[in-house]
Amino acid sequence: MEKYAAWAASYQEDQVTIAYDTMWEGTTKIAHRIAEEIHRQSPDTVVKVFNIAKADKNEIMTEVFKSRAIAVGSPTVSNSYLSSVAGWLEFLKQLKFKNKKAAAFGCYGWSGESVKLLQAKLAEAGFEVIEENVRSMWNPKESDFEGIPALVKSLIG
């Protein structure tokens, strides 16, 4: 943890880390479409995708540390984001990363608060949060991916 704090200054490589959780894989699809679009727009950028509930939390943070930008995704659950993502965001905030951009994405059914709340939490954690986001009502259709090129342009630009 002390090392994390020491490293947190401004270190970064040409990498983007995408971290998300999901119930029914809709948010997973958005995560992978964002990854594909990063590769299309910037073939040299390393992209790593993690399911927060399945991957080792320290490993994801090591990749965030190396990244110049991150994208965080969660479906809306009970007017918020998943508790797994909430815990991870708390850890993220404690590490006080600097000079990194962030974007949010996620599926929802009716009220869809997760993306706005993710953006607010990422800003609180010290990230430069971009406006562009992806919200999909229920499982994503092709048209739900339309905003991804603009999101990626802003995230890695």
Ligand X SMILES: Cc1cc2nc3c(=O)[nH]c(=O)nc-3n(C[C@H](O)[C@H](O)[C@H](O)COP(=O)(O)O)c2cc1C
Give the total of residues touching ligand X (CB under 6 A). Answer: 19
Pick one of 18, 47, 107, 156: the residue that binds ligand X (CB under 6 A). Answer: 107
Pick one of 5, 13, 14, 23: the residue that binds ligand X (CB under 6 A). Answer: 23
Residue 77 touches ligand X, criterion: CB under 6 A: yes
Q: Cβ 24 to ligand X, closest distance in Å?
A: 3
Residue 25 touches ligand X, criterion: CB under 6 A: yes
Pick one of 76, 105, 119, 127: the residue that binds ligand X (CB under 6 A). Answer: 76
Q: Which is nearer to ligand X, 23 or 120 (CB)?
A: 23
Residue 75 touches ligand X, criterion: CB under 6 A: yes
Q: Which is nearer to ligand X, 83 or 94 (CB)?
A: 83
3-state secondary structure labels for all residues of the chain = CHHHHHHCCCCCCCEEEEEECCCCCHHHHHHHHHHHHHHHHCCCCEEEEEECCCCCHHHHHHHHHHCCEEEEECCCECCECCHHHHHHHHHHHHCCCCCCEEEEEEEECCCCCHHHHHHHHHHHCCCEECCCCEEEECCCCHHHHCCHHHHHHHHHC
Cβ-Cβ contacts under 8 Å for 156 (sequence gap 6 or more): 16, 38, 41, 42, 45, 68, 69, 101
Binders in 32-71 for ligand X, by CB under 6 A: none
Q: Cβ 30 to ligand X, closest distance in Å?
A: 8
Q: By the criterion CB under 6 A, which residues form the site for ligand X? A: 22-27, 75-79, 107-112, 138-139
